[in-house]
Each structure stands twice: as C-alpha cells, then as structure tokens.
Amino acid sequence: MYCPYCGTNNTSQANFCSACGANLVEPTVPTTQQPPVNIITKLDYAGFWRRFVAFIIDSIVLRAAASILTLATKGSFFYTPSFSTGLPDLGTIMLDPTNILSIIIVWLYYTLMESSSKQATLGKMALGLIVTDMEGRRISLLRATGRHFGKIVSMMTIFIGFILAGITPRKQALHDMIAGCLVMVRK
C-alpha cells in the first residue's frame, strides 16, 4: 500500500506510513487530522539533466564566492603565483590556504544545505529538487558529508558515477548509492 502523502510503499497490514506517519486506514484525511508537517504530496526521482542544471547553478554560486575569496586574500581576481620552474607544483597548489579554504567552503555549502530543512542547495532549490534518505526523510550532516565526498568516487570512474543518475531505476548517481540517498523532484 502506497502512502498518499509521501509515496512510500508500506505493507498491506500497516495502519500508518513507516516514513511519514500518515494514517493509511482511512481513504481520506478527516478535517480534524492534517497531513504530517513537511510532507510533500508527490515526489518523482530527479534525472541526470535536471541534476546537471542544478550543478551548473551551484557552480556559478560557488565561483562567485571563490572570486570574492580570491579578491579578499590575494587583492586581485587574476592572481597568479610566480613559481621558479614556471610550472606549479601540485603540493604547493593543494597547500595554498585559499585552496584549502575553498575545499572547506564547498564541503560546507553542500553538506549544510542538503542536510538543512530545505534539503537542497540553491541550484536544487531553483529546480525544485530535494535530497532525501531512502525513506524520503531529511538526511543527516554525516550522510550529507558522505554523499559529498562520495562524489570523488563518481569522478574517479571517468564521471560514469554521475551518468548513472540517468540510467538507474531510482535515478541514483554512484555517490547517492554510497550514501544511501535519493534526489527527488517536488511536484
């Protein structure tokens, strides 16, 4: 039996939804009982292209933040360090405090926003997407962190981990599978 509020599949003997707690016995909601708070009436899985556009929006937001950070720390948007060999050393680039701060900002942006009550980054909000656990609930900060750093694995597969969001039944990318998450579209 599917919950009329959140769409979760419950056992036929269930009186209440296992995900949102809605009453499954009565076919309609009586006027004295309101649907549970923060329940979305219908959700669909978010496919690859919608998620890609949300990523582009988030990238623009983060690039603007990085530009401001660079301006504040280096005094110019076009700062280029001078290296004696002419080629940057990977260790020097990674240990640059601005780069370390950028990594922290990106991590905090994704994890805090996706584990918040909005369940979405600015790009996802613009497209009506939310990140949930496998039962449609808000994810924890720890799960959001695992999902974020799981994107490294998705990248290491020559981005096939991201493409999986277009072909798997629940539209999950590899990092979603690793963290046990879904990206849903509010309808």
Domain map (residue ranges) of the chain: 1-41, 43-186
Please tell me the predicted confidence (pLDDT) of residue 65: 87
Using a 10 angstrom Cβ sphere, with 0-12 exposed, 13-18 middle and 19 or more buried, the burial of residue 26 is exposed
pTM (predicted TM-score): 0.70
The residue among 111 and 41 whose pLDDT is bigger is 111
Lookup: tokens for 69: 């950070």
For 85-111, give the DSSP string: TSS--HHHHHT-HHHHHHHHHHHHHHH
* Spatial distance between the Cα atoms of 53 and 127, rounded to a whole number of angstroms: 8
What rounded mean pLDDT belongs to the chain?
82
Report residue 72's pLDDT band, with 50, 70 and 90 as the boundaries. Answer: confident
Q: Are 12 and 1 in contact (CB under 8 A)?
A: yes
* Spatial distance between the Cα atoms of 94 and 117, rounded to a whole number of angstroms: 33
Q: Which amino acid is at 89?
A: D
